[in-house]
A = this chain, B = another copy of it.
Amino acid sequence: MADKITIAVDAMGGDNAPHEIIKGCIDAANKNVKIILVGKKNLIESQKFNFTDIEILNATEVINTEDSPIWALKNKKDSSIVKGLNLVKEKIADGFVSAGNTGAILSCATILLKRIPKINRPALATPLPNINGISLLLDSGANVECKPIYLEQFAKMGSVYMENVMGIKNPRVGLVNVGVEDTKGNALTKEAYEILKNSNLNFIGNVEARDIPAGIADVIVCDGFTGNVILKNTEGVAQNIFKMLKTELKKNFSRKLGAILAKPAFINMKKKFDYAEIGGAPFLGLTSIVVKAHGSSNAKAIKNAISQCVNFIKADVTKKIND
């Protein structure tokens, strides 16, 4: 790794591409961080920005959310995702950030960058806000079907991450289940429970989805279908509570005045649940760092996802998982 860290960024991924992506990259670039924006060069340059600190790599194709990952990898070789990942493969970039199609990023990354030995499936590891800080939720959507052994690998990778990036000693690992009793659950969780119980991890047992926002565990392990549901449900419940609260607070003068006086409290709360503040989610289990930013990413979210990518590279998480 050179002194200056280089991050390749998918200019075409997410709902607000390319404008917000470019803006986030410009904000993130500095003397220690070089950005290579990958996407349709004409379109990128047509946005009115000062590109002095940014390199642009032309990619004529875009992988859409509807595209099947395997099909896209074969048929869209000149896409921003494939070309961005190739920059990492060729050691031109140290990491890749995209707000695009999760499945496509994962499939392309797994084939182009390879998995860490003994890891069957890379996992999307999303930082999830809780009352005391952050838990790491994995898998949060990369693998909708999982075998019990994958869940143990997710738990191990998540523990390494929380210990090395977040500085949490001996992170508590919880298995998402429908009850805390060891007899509860479906075939997957019952088998995963036995494997985790016999591992050398700090396994605290089954955790119910009710206790995740209370910060019951540092590493929350589940299959990617369940994780995606938890991630999106948390976001949706928080967003809608804030929306309902806003409506309630506008109902009369006394409430309006109260809301003005207490405004900083609401701002702090919203910040805690704002994906743009949290940044992106790394795929753990690959030989290089790939960060998935939220599909609705604005410039701030992209900037934070890039910073996070830089932090992972500095903390050398990949090597630590490998060890």
A contact set with B: CB distance below 8 Å: 65-66, 68, 130-131, 141, 144-145, 176, 178-179, 181, 183, 185-187, 189, 208-214, 224-226, 228-241, 243-245, 248-249, 251, 254-255, 257-266, 268-269, 272-273
Contact A232 B208 (CB under 8 A): yes
Interface-central residue, A225, A237, A248, A255, by most chain B CB under 10 Å: A237
Tell me which of B183, B212, B239, B258 contacts A258 (CB under 8 A). B258
**A283–chain B nearest beta-carbon distance, Å:** 16
A-B contact pairs, 6 of them (CB 8 A): A66-B183, A241-B273, A244-B269, A249-B262, A257-B258, A259-B262
Q: Work out how many copies of this chain go into the complex.
A: 2
Asked if A213 contacts B187 (CB within 8 A), the reply is: no
From B183, B245, B260, B264, give the contact of A269 (CB < 8 A): B245
Q: Check A234/B237 contact, CB under 8 A, given A178-B144, A225-B186, A255-B262.
A: yes
Known contacts A255-B261, A255-B262: A210-B235 contact under CB 8 Å: yes
| Bound Cα distance A161, B258 (Å) | 40
Known contacts A236-B209, A238-B237, A183 near B68 by CB under 8 Å: yes
Q: Measured between alpha carbons, how far is A183 from B254 in the docked complex, in Å?
A: 50
The 10 A-B pairs with the shortest beta carbon distances in the complex, nearest first, are A258-B261, A258-B262, A248-B265, A210-B232, A209-B233, A210-B236, A209-B232, A213-B240, A237-B237, A258-B258
A237 to B211, CA, bound (A): 9
Residue in B189, B210, B214, B240 whose CB lies within 8 Å of A214: B240
User: Shortest CB–CB separation between residue A75 and chain B, in angstroms?
Assistant: 15
Measured between alpha carbons, how far is A179 from B66 in the docked complex, in Å?
10
Cα distance A199–B62 in the bound complex, in angstroms: 35
Chain B contacts of A130 at CB under 8 A? 240
Q: Give the docked Cα–Cα distance between A320 and B84 (Å).
A: 57
Contacting pair B224 A131 (CB below 8 A):
no
B178 touches A228 (CB 8 A): yes
Q: Are the C-beta atoms of A176 and B65 separated by less than 8 Å?
A: no
Known contacts A130-B240, A255-B262; A229 and B249 CB within 8 A of each other: no
Chain B contacts for A244, CB-based, 8 A: 131, 269, 272
Contact pick for A241, options B230, B238, B264, CB 8 Å: B238
Chain B residues whose CB sits within 8 angstroms of the CB of A183 once the complex forms: 66, 68
Task: Give every chain B residue within 8 A of A68 (Cβ-Cβ).
Answer: 183
Residue of B nearest to A182 (CB): B66
- Shortest CB distance A185–B (Å): 6
Pair B176/A145 contact, Cβ less than 8 Å: no
A273 contacts which chain B residues (CB < 8 A)? 241
Chain B residue, CB-CB nearest to A141: B178
- B-chain residues with CB within 8 Å of residue A245 when the two chains form the complex: 265-266, 269
A141 to B145 alpha-carbon distance, docked (Å): 20
